[in-house]
Structure 1
Amino acid sequence: MVLTAGTTGEVHAVPTSGSKLNGSHASTAGATDALVPLERFIPVTTLALVDRLTVPDAWPSGDHGEARRFFRYLDFWRRQQHNRRLMTLLRAYEPFDPDSDLLITREYTAAEKLRLQKRTVADVKRILERANYVPIDPKSVEVILTKDSHYGLDLHVDLGVFEECLLFFRGASKKRDTRTNYRKFMRKEEFDVPIYRRLVLLFKLKPFDVRVREVMAEKKVSEKEAAKVVTRMRGSLPAEVKEGNIYIKLFKNIPRNDLEMVFPNTRVRFRLWDKVKLGVTGGGAMGMGLVGTAGKLAAGGLTVANPVALAGAVAGLGGIAFRQGMNFMNQKQRYMVVMAQNLYFHAMADNRGVMIKLSERAAEEDVKEEILLYSVLAKETCKRNDLGLIDAAIESYLRGAFDIKVDFDLPDALERLIADGIVREDADGTLHTMPPAVAAQHLDAKWDRFLDDLPDGVKQEGLEVDAEDFPHV
């Protein structure tokens, strides 16, 4: 048999003959994925999925009401599981939180802080993956260091300053924007801007002495010179950014060509046109000033006998040079303002706020995947070797019901349902799924045992200190 998607909300099995999910379909999907990689993110609300998956026609046995109740139980249960992991993550993050307004009552050894740092980064990465975010390699020159800019800025980032750096996106898309086309007599035209609907950046600076040693090795300079280089490079960082903290930023609708602007040490560089324009105007002004001064000297108007006029000419040249220097500074300042203004409207959350939001999104993605898979397994007798067809059927259902293309993450959803006891697998690979009413009772019982199963006496890193030794926040 082959699995396919129904038109009334159900995802079910049909005989192989006449099925559209055959080998040619799979090869076509593979070719499409190769050209435009699909994301696992399902851009539909949980409520919308539940409403469509629990219509009466989708459950011929009349279990649509029980299925809806089970899906509600599953939603609460999965969010509770994520909340438990979130609490563990937030405790590990406490020593690195730059926004904490709490009294610091614990001291940590260097080894303990390093363990907490690695645990924090690993757990954030795990949540991002569960929320169906896609990683971007920060060292990928093709992605990061782009020359084209939506906002007309030439940006540069030194990635060597970071000890930890994670960059994830979700929802690679496009948005319509307008611009003035100089080739069409200053008319406005619409164009597509490639964007990331969501972008997460986690970073931690390297310790100063570590970065100094790296610069010494890279540039073959003395420790003193390397320290000057590192100090100068860190001058582009906001004063609030400390090397002992871990920072997490969440952005929305970031143009892919301006990805560099989300980093804290972004430097704005002059574009070629700016260099030409400022160079021509500055050079012309200085040239005219020099020509005028030289002409007066040749005519004898500026001599030692007339020091006031000579001083005035020199001051005039100095004024021209100062004005051109200010033009350079003002142009760079305008670029910084453009970057800050645009970034202001892209920012969504920081640090702990990002963790909480990501945990919520991860739970939601888990629930959507699980109810889609359950809607198939609860109605059909399936085996593990049918999973590829089930995956294709669910993707086909999402295309038909919502006109969206996703790379459905079936293996993780199945493992979670098995871990919770909702699905059981025989030795021959046959999958047995609890009916909706039984599955709801099963989760109800697990919820009753949840507090009883919490571990006691878990040792935490750090040592509580006396009140007189409390560091001030």
Structure 2
Amino acid sequence: MATYENREAFIPYRRRDIIRLCLEDGQLNSFDTKKFQDFCHILSAYYHFSFHQTMEIIKDNYVQFNPNTDIKIINKLTPEQYDEMESQVVNKFHHILERANYISLPRSIIKKALETKSLINLKSEVNFDDFDRCLCYYRGDTIKKISIKKFLFWRQEKTIEIFERIVLLIKFKEAAYFHGKKIKVKDLNFTPGKMYLYFYKDIPKSDIDLLFPNVTTSMTWKDRLLFGIPAIGAAIPLILRALPNILLLIAAILIFLNAQPLVEDLDIEQSKVRDLMPVLVATLSLGMALGGFAFKQYSKYKSKKIQFQKKVSDTLFFSNLANNDGVFQMLIDLAEEEECKEIILVYYHLLTSPVPLTPEQLDSRVEEWMEKKLGTTINFDIHGPLDNLANIRGKVHQNCNEVENTPEVPLLTYDEQGYCQLLSLDDSKAVIDYVWDNAFKYNAIAL
């Protein structure tokens, strides 16, 4: 079984299209075609119900951490209950993202991406100490070419690395932490103690910082040099031109302080100093000159900051797929779809193979089939669907009177040589039908 560093396990096609391709492959006769369709239908229904249960667990536990909820909690939680609910949400978050073939992004890679120069040349920082939890998953690590406006009509083409999909879970620390930092909670754009989820598309690696609610910006060292050196250079002739006015202002202050000898050292006519109007003019001229210069320099920095804020707004608006509880809804659908596609592909290739297959051989067979049929290269996750098939157990029987004595059997087993052994289509449907019928046992009569 080959592994590929540049391939992902995600199958970029709909479940219905995968089923249709299997049926059009010509390996099943007319009778088995109908049975295979029925098997796919009941399998999909079974996993839809299974993931619905997962969603109910998430809803029951996330309500305590949802910043957008309008549901009131009746009973006050103990610290143990609070921690257990948080663990349930996080565990299910991991579960559904792995089922949806998303890849965990380590904190080290996140920090490295934050250190990468962004398209807008501003220094951005994210304080990870503000978080109790920070989890990130992605799918689709690709390269994209974009066109950037430089000057007037000149545009520069640039190649950037992007994540096609990225999911972020952030649990902020409680309010006491921010009070300890002398930060007013009302000034924060998030609620301490709550859990925020974000789901985005097509995010450049260098722009991951835009996704964090507590991102802050400042000038880079280059900006500070470009800001400071020209400022000093422009300020020197400005000060030299304003020097007579500065001296006049100083002399007026000294006279006010009764420091007559010092005024004489400045070599300024006493009449000019004692005349209030020249002093006021000097003060006004100096203030306007220095103030205008400072405003001009600061405006350049503010312009960059506005550009950054617009970039944040555009990213949050145009690239956002879902937030908070809406993220779970979307991920459940994605995980259900991926789980079913993988099992259907494994089941079909075991069913149509003329010879027994080991898991490694089956893995290669599925990958080659996908490349041949669709021109798509994937790193198929063989162990997940095989485990799922082996864990689906039910009873196969011909007579209803024999149900109680019939042992449960799995859809998939292995022989002594490690080859996969699959139940027939009829028996497979019977097993899943049995599992489905016994999902609830409210009826007094056992099936």
Instruction: Give the alignment's TM-score, normalised by structure 1.
Output: 0.76
2:159 pairs with 1:192: yes
CA distance in 1, matches of 2:70, 2:142: 38
2:348 pairs with 1:375: yes
Question: Structure 1 residue aligned with 2:434, among 431, 438, 445?
Answer: 445
CA distance in 2, matches of 1:379, 1:138: 44
Aligned partner of 1:161 in structure 2 is 130
Whichever residue aligns with residue 375 of structure 1, its letter is Y
Per-residue CA deviations over 1:240-279 (Å, capped at 9, x if unaligned) read 4122211111011101121111111111232455334433
Following TM superposition, by how much is the alpha carbon of 1:89 offset from its aligned partner in structure 2, in angstroms?
1.4
Per-residue CA deviations over 1:96-125 (Å, capped at 9, x if unaligned) read 111112232231011210111122112111
2:43 pairs with 1:55: no
Q: Secondary structure at the match of 1:388?
A: helix
Aligned partner of 1:11 in structure 2 is none
Compare 259-268 and 279-288 and name the one that shifted more.
Answer: 279-288
Following TM superposition, by how much is the alpha carbon of 1:446 offset from its aligned partner in structure 2, in angstroms?
2.4
Question: Structure 1 residue aligned with 2:96, among 127, 133, 138?
Answer: 127
Aligned partner of 2:64 in structure 1 is 95
Compare 149-158 and 244-253 and name the one that shifted more.
Answer: 149-158
Aligned partner of 1:356 in structure 2 is 329
Following TM superposition, by how much is the alpha carbon of 1:65 offset from its aligned partner in structure 2, in angstroms?
2.1
Q: 1:82 to 1:381 in 2, by over 3 A?
A: farther
Q: 1:322 to 1:187 in 2, by over 3 A?
A: closer
Question: Structure 2 residue aligned with 1:337, among 284, 287, 310?
Answer: 310
Alignment of 1:457-468 (within 5 A): none
CA distance in 2, matches of 1:453, 1:442: 20
Please tell me whether the aligned partners of residues 78 and 363 of structure 1 are also in contact (alpha carbons under 8 angstroms).
Answer: yes
Following TM superposition, by how much is the alpha carbon of 1:41 offset from its aligned partner in structure 2, in angstroms?
1.0
Aligned partner of 1:174 in structure 2 is 143
Compare 240-249 and 314-323 and name the one that shifted more.
Answer: 314-323
CA distance in 2, matches of 1:141, 1:95: 28
Whichever residue aligns with residue 341 of structure 1, its letter is D
Question: Structure 2 residue aligned with 1:255, among 189, 197, 204?
Answer: 204
Q: 1:73 to 1:414 in 2, by over 3 A?
A: same
Aligned partner of 2:256 in structure 1 is none
Q: Secondary structure at the match of 2:94?
A: helix
Following TM superposition, by how much is the alpha carbon of 1:285 offset from its aligned partner in structure 2, in angstroms?
4.5
Compare 202-211 and 39-48 and name the one that shifted more.
Answer: 202-211
Whichever residue aligns with residue 17 of structure 2, its letter is A
CA distance in 1, matches of 2:150, 2:280: 52
2:219 pairs with 1:270: yes
Q: 1:450 to 1:285 in 2, by over 3 A?
A: same
Per-residue CA deviations over 1:218-240 (Å, capped at 9, x if unaligned) read xxxxxxxxx3xx345x88x9734
2:169 pairs with 1:202: yes
Following TM superposition, by how much is the alpha carbon of 1:151 offset from its aligned partner in structure 2, in angstroms?
4.5
* Structure 1 residues not aligned, in runs of 5+: 1-25, 213-226, 455-473
CA distance in 2, matches of 1:298, 1:307: 10
CA distance in 1, matches of 2:122, 2:375: 36
Q: 1:297 to 1:152 in 2, by over 3 A?
A: closer
2:366 pairs with 1:394: yes
Per-residue CA deviations over 1:51-109 (Å, capped at 9, x if unaligned) read 10112612147412221221122112111101111101110111111111223223101
Following TM superposition, by how much is the alpha carbon of 1:443 offset from its aligned partner in structure 2, in angstroms?
2.4
CA distance in 2, matches of 1:287, 1:102: 63
Please tell me whether the aligned partners of residues 150 and 255 of structure 1 are also in contact (alpha carbons under 8 angstroms).
Answer: no
Aligned partner of 2:76 in structure 1 is 107
Following TM superposition, by how much is the alpha carbon of 1:172 offset from its aligned partner in structure 2, in angstroms?
1.5
Aligned partner of 1:459 in structure 2 is none
Following TM superposition, by how much is the alpha carbon of 1:416 offset from its aligned partner in structure 2, in angstroms?
0.8
Whichever residue aligns with residue 204 of structure 1, its letter is K
Following TM superposition, by how much is the alpha carbon of 1:410 offset from its aligned partner in structure 2, in angstroms?
1.0
Question: Structure 1 residue aligned with 2:190, among 227, 238, 241?
Answer: 241
Aligned partner of 1:23 in structure 2 is none
Q: 1:426 to 1:61 in 2, by over 3 A?
A: farther
- What percentage of residue pairs aligned between the two structures are identical? 21
CA distance in 1, matches of 2:318, 2:155: 23
Please tell me whether the aligned partners of residues 96 and 331 of structure 2 are also in contact (alpha carbons under 8 angstroms).
Answer: yes
Please tell me whether the aligned partners of residues 178 and 191 of structure 1 are also in contact (alpha carbons under 8 angstroms).
Answer: yes
Q: 1:297 to 1:82 in 2, by over 3 A?
A: closer
Aligned partner of 1:311 in structure 2 is 283
CA distance in 1, matches of 2:299, 2:412: 73
Whichever residue aligns with residue 366 of structure 1, its letter is E
2:383 pairs with 1:411: yes
Please tell me whether the aligned partners of residues 67 and 437 of structure 1 are also in contact (alpha carbons under 8 angstroms).
Answer: no
Number of aligned pairs?
402
Per-residue CA deviations over 1:150-180 (Å, capped at 9, x if unaligned) read 3444322121221111000011223332124
CA distance in 2, matches of 1:419, 1:135: 25
Whichever residue aligns with residue 364 of structure 2, its letter is A
Q: Secondary structure at the match of 2:142?
A: strand
Alignment of 1:218-237 (within 5 A): 227=180, 230-231=181-182
CA distance in 1, matches of 2:187, 2:286: 39
CA distance in 2, matches of 1:150, 1:331: 11
Please tell me whether the aligned partners of residues 172 and 196 of structure 1 are also in contact (alpha carbons under 8 angstroms).
Answer: yes
Following TM superposition, by how much is the alpha carbon of 1:330 offset from its aligned partner in structure 2, in angstroms?
4.4
Aligned partner of 1:423 in structure 2 is 411
Following TM superposition, by how much is the alpha carbon of 1:342 offset from its aligned partner in structure 2, in angstroms?
2.7
Structure with bigger RCO (C-alpha 8 Å, 6+ apart): 1
Instruction: Give the alignment's TM-score, normalised by structure 2.
Output: 0.81
Alignment of 1:136-151 (within 5 A): 136-140=105-109, 143-151=112-120
